[in-house]
Amino acid sequence: MRNKEMKLQLFAQTWNPDNVTVFEHKDGTIPDKYNELILKDVMEGSKVMQLAKYEEMDSKEKEFEYFAKGPGAYWVGEGEKIKTSKPQWLTAKMVAKKLGVIVPCSRELLTYKVSDFFDKMKPKIAEAFYKKFDDAVILNADNPFPQSLEESVMESGNSISTGLTYDNILALEDILSDGDFDVNAFISTKKNRSTLRNVQKIENGVVVETLYDRANNTLDGYPVVDLKSLEKGTLYAGDFDYMYYGIPYGMSYKISEEAQLSTLTNEDGTPVNLFEQELVALRVTMDVAFMIVKDTAFAKLESASRLGTLTVSSVAGTATGDTKVTISPEKAAGNSYKYKVADTETTVTYGQNVKNWTAWDGSKDITAETGKKITVVECDAEFRAVKAGSATVTAKSA
């Protein structure tokens, strides 16, 4: 009897995922090969894991030292003793949190070999994990950790809220440089690309420098990673040597055929019931840790939250029926002017699309009737209003 028990224990430890179906092995630890493949996909898909420093962990908590300040050098006179200083190392404690995902799938998948099953489910599991992790630690969305990139920016006050422009992006870098940090990457979104392509330095109407390299997806020479859930107009810059993550354990899974999934609903709004709908649900959990050791190593640039004001004036133009319009302040690099003439001032809201308004170069006389209202808008590369102002038209009479 004892010999039989030992054989059963041996089988439990050495089962082959290529020979066992999911139906026969509904829970446990994901086989090492597929655990590694899923983790590889998670680490390649996660924007944070692409940029932050990986810290080895063998338990849910880990204390580690990070380099805060290096030793100094000194001028030495002939025969003088060389001064010494110690590098500064600080201690940080990182704690892992459990992250879980539930993926509904067809009941037929229970007949798959465990290896084939996880090979098929690998992309879905990985995507769910890295999206949830990134949204938590970057945007502070449903975040279990005591820190996030967004919270660090708010804590340090390293933010600019006047839009994606050439001057603002350089100012964002300067915030970190002035704090003795090195910008080594940006977090953006593909929705920003059309705006970033027009982030240029223009002198006398000629483009002398473009910050964004579309082919390599770099900004001012630094790599850009795109987070899909980031709002358009938002950009993070950072010295990501001060951001850490760790993964202490392998992944565990369990398959259920009878649960009611309260967080997933059918088209009619009712919860998904696995038993009634002949479905199964795969639950996978992993532990992951995250920490930022210096809040001031990160900064944020975002769009203005309200419409800016243009001061518009109108005087008689050169030709009969024309008006000379002047604007202050001058438009930002990459932006353009649009205008509309009407009986009354045209209402404009921040972000409003003015693509169909009349384009204006900022200097040419405009044909308009005296007494009408001209509304001028400064818009970005996608024709979204950022500033506006109006004036009563004064045109040259015959």
CA distances from 53 to 48, 205, 240, 348 (A): 9, 43, 7, 46
Q: Rounded CA gap, 104 and 117, in Å? A: 13
Q: Which helix (H) or strand (E) holds 169?
A: helix 166-178
What's the whole-number average pLDDT of the chain?
Answer: 84
Question: Within 13 Å and on the Cβ side, how many CA atoms surround 171?
Answer: 14
DSSP assignment letter at 317: -
Q: What are the beta bridge partners of residue 66?
A: 90
| Structural contact between residues 387 and 378, judged by C-beta atoms closer than 8 angstroms | yes
Q: How far is CA 396 from the centre of its chain?
A: 52
Is 3.90.1690 the CATH classification of the domain at 17-65+87-305?
yes
Q: Rounded CA gap, 168 and 119, in Å? A: 46
Map tokens 């059918």 to a residue. Answer: 266
Q: Rounded CA gap, 299 and 236, in Å? A: 6
Q: Rounded CA gap, 285 and 60, in Å? A: 14
CA distances from 176 to 119, 179, 211, 230, 327 (A): 43, 5, 18, 21, 33
Map tokens 């809040």 to a residue. Answer: 295
Residue ranges per structural domain of the chain: 17-65+87-305, 308-392
Q: Among candidates 170, 226, 221, which has minimal Cα distance to 194?
A: 226
243-258 pLDDT, tens digit per residue, is 999 999 888 888 877 6
Please name the CATH architecture into which domain 308-392 falls. Answer: Sandwich (2.60)
Q: Report residue 51 as tokens.
A: 């940029």
Q: Rounded CA gap, 38 and 53, in Å? A: 19
Q: Among candidates 240, 239, 238, 196, which has minimal Cα distance to 215?
A: 196
The pLDDT value given to residue 86: 55
Question: Within 13 Å and on the Cβ side, how many CA atoms surround 181?
Answer: 24
- The pTM for the full model equals 0.67
Q: Report residue 130 as tokens.
A: 């890295």
pLDDT tens, per residue, the chain with 398 residues:
334 343 333 334 444 666 566 666 677 778 788 888 888 999 999 999 999 999 999 899 998 877 665 444 555 556 565 555 455 677 888 999 999 888 777 777 777 787 888 888 888 889 999 999 999 999 999 899 989 999 999 888 898 888 888 999 999 999 999 999 999 999 999 999 989 998 888 888 788 899 999 999 999 999 999 999 998 889 999 999 999 999 998 888 888 776 666 665 667 777 666 666 667 778 889 999 999 999 999 999 987 667 888 999 999 999 999 999 999 988 888 899 999 999 999 999 887 889 999 999 999 999 999 999 999 999 988 888 889 999 999 999 97
The pLDDT value given to residue 299: 96
